[in-house]
Amino acid sequence: MASLSISNIKKSYGALNVLHGIEIRVPDGGFLVLLGPSGCGKSTLLNIIAGLDDPSVGDIAIGDRTVTALAPKDRNIAMVFQSYALYPTMSVARNIGFGLEMRGVSEQERKSEIAKAAEMLQIGHLLDRRPANLSGGQRQRVAMGRAIVRHPDLFLFDEPLSNLDAKLRVEMRTEIKRLHERLGTTTVYVTHDQVEAMTLATEVAVMKGGYVQQLADPRTIYERPANMFVAGFIGSPAMNFIKGRVVSEASGSLFECSGVKLSLGALSVDGYHQVCILGVRPEELKVTSTVNAALTGVIDVVEPTGPDTMVTVLIGDQPIVARVEPRFRGRRGDVIHFNVDRESISLFDAETENRIDIRPMN
């Protein structure tokens, strides 16, 4: 096992700049998820870590070795692809052990490693089959087994669950988490799925346009997003954004707009007394019968989902979504009131879209 250091990685294709000075360090045994929409640079960064592409500027170090100039085979990494990349004419056992065979590992040792990986992944009964006779989840387990037997310093996963249906995605996500906790191997995982990022990662790097927008643990990413992009990308439904302004009063600060009058208490946001954006998660909106509540609006759409009900509400002319209890009985056109715990809100600068720090008044 080893740590991973990504130092000032830049990548350009002619005049097109794809990565802009990426700096990330993953400790030994960490699980980093590179999260972002298509085209954000996450797969390019993974390919540079793997040695499948060269950086224009910067270095990659695995443990105490700088590997920037090394071929993939010399980096002691193992990669699991979205497409599985299995040999169709080989059995499951030989697919798992083929890399060891190419490295000259003895047959006895290969069989031992294959058996251990198969037991870990619960595919021991499939060793004589060929990939065509396996389900998608089974094929992905074979690809993971092939990676495990290498005993790499670094696991690299490139959207490994994208080809699976929803139920299998949940099962394989659990399998990958269990595998990481058992092996403790440093892992880098690329996905556009924020649920995968939140459930698997020790740290998440949210990327957009070749920049890391925020690098933090999943809870911090969710509760204290660095900007509106991160806030809107993480969470389903996404964070609500309400445009208004903050004013100072003797007792503290107040966020207000049509339908909203939210006391921030003895908190100060000096310098942001003009237009700003209130961010609030759907589950933080608490229905109340109090008419002088923090938010008041009109119900537009009610969507029961089983465990929750999603309610779209117009606050003035701004739509928001609230996650309420499943037996909610409101209907379109009803007036509805919400309270919000001020500790759970975010404020963003309307021009830069960056987070505004709210601090206690002196």
pLDDT per residue as tens digits for the range 139-193? 989 999 999 998 999 999 999 888 888 888 888 899 899 999 999 999 999 999 9
* Residue 248 structure tokens: 């100072």
Query: What is the rounded distance in angstroms from the CA atom of residue 269 to the CA atom of residue 33?
Result: 33
pLDDT at position 275 over 90? no
Q: To 5 degrees, how large is the angle CA 111–CA 143–CA 131?
A: 85
How many angstroms separate the CA atoms of 129 and 111, rounded?
16
CB 191 within 8 A of CB 36: no
Is the model's pLDDT at 115 over the cut of 70? yes
Q: Six-digit token pair at 347?
A: 């404020």
> Whole-angstrom Cα distance, residue 357 to residue 262?
17
* CB-based contact 186:1 (threshold 8 Å): yes
What span, in angstroms and rounded, lies between the C-alpha atoms of 244 and 285? 17
Q: State the Cα–Cα distance between residues 342 and 262, nearest whole angstrom.
A: 8
Q: At a CB cut-off of 8 Å and minimum separation 6, what does 252 contact?
A: 263, 264, 265, 266, 267, 268, 361
pTM: 0.90
Task: Give CA torsion, residues 12, 31, 151, 174, to 10 deg.
Answer: -120
Q: Residue 289 — pLDDT band, cuts 50, 70, 90? A: confident
Most confident of 74-83, 182-191, 341-350: 182-191
Q: What percent of the chain has pLDDT over 70?
A: 95
Domains of the chain with bracketed CATH: 4-232 (3.40.50.300), 240-360 (2.40.50.140)
Say how many C-beta atoms besides its own lie within 10 A of residue 91's C-beta. Answer: 16
What mean pLDDT value characterizes the chain?
A: 91
